[in-house]
Amino acid sequence: MYELTGKVAIITGGSRGIGKGIASIMAKQGARIVIADLLKEEAEKTAAEIESNGGKAMAIKTDICNFDEVKTMVARAKKHFGSVDILVNNAGWDRMIPFHKTDPELWNKIIDINYKGTLNCVFCAMEEMKNNNYGKIISIASDAGRVGSSGEAVYSGTKGAVIAFSKAMARELAKTKINVNVVCPGPTNTPLVKEMKDDSEFNNKVLSGMERIIPLKRMGVPEDIAYAVTFLASKEADFITGQVISVSGGLTMAG
C-alpha cells in the first residue's frame, strides 16, 4: 500500500471510530502517530495498541476548540518525533435534530468543534509544515456538507465550511508544497453514530435504514475512510490538492 515511513501524523479525535481506523492504518504504513483527543484514556489505549503492533504512537489530551492547547499539542508532537508532516482533522461532533428544535448553545458547540477546531489545528500545524516546505492536510468533512442531511442542518453547514476553507487553503499553501484535501464519509458505523441512534427513535429509524439505500448495500466502516486518507497523505497524491473525495458506498454521487 502507500508508504508513510518516517512521517509524523497528527490525528485529531484519533482514539476511536474513524480516527482510530486512520491512526491504525497509517501506523501500519510506517507513520509515527500523534493522537490528539479529549478522551485521554481512550487515546492512550489506542496509542498502546499501535505500539503493541510494532508502530510508534503517543497520545496528547487536547481540546481542539482551545487554540493554546492545540498550539501546545503541535509543539509537543514536534519535540517528541522531530517534525509534523501530516495533519488529519478528524475530530467532530453532531446531534441529529430538526433545526427548529435546536438553540444557539447547540449551534455554537457544533460550530466550535467541527469548524473552529479545524481552523485552530490547520493554523498551528501549517507553520511547522512551512518550515519543511512539505505537508499533507486532510480534513474529514461529510457528505452532509456536500448535499445536506435532514436533522443535521448546522452540522451540514460546518462541514460545508470545512470544504470551502480547505479549497482556499490549498491555493494559499500550494507554493510551500503543502497539499490540502478533504474526505467526505457517508454513513459509517462509529461510536458517535451509535450514540445518535440511541438519542431518539427518529434518528434510529433514519440511520438504520441507510443500508437499504446505499448502492453497495452496507454502512461504511472506519477502514474505508482510512484507506482514502492514507492515499492522500502519501507521495502518490503529491499532485492532488483542493479536492473532495466522497467515501459513501455510492450514496451520494453529485459533483
Choose the catalytic residue: 2, 115, 134, 155.
155
Contact of 158 with 144, CB cutoff 8 Å = no
> Per the structure block, which three cell numbers stand in for 179?
497539499
CA 31 from centroid of its chain's CA atoms:
16
Q: Which of 112, 99, 186, 110 is nearest to 155 (CA)?
A: 110
134 carries an active-site annotation: no
Contact of 177 with 134, CB cutoff 8 Å = yes
> Per the structure block, which three cell numbers stand in for 209?
435504514
Q: Which helix (H) or strand (E) holds 136?
A: strand 135-140
> Per the structure block, which three cell numbers stand in for 230?
492514507
Residues designated as active site? 155
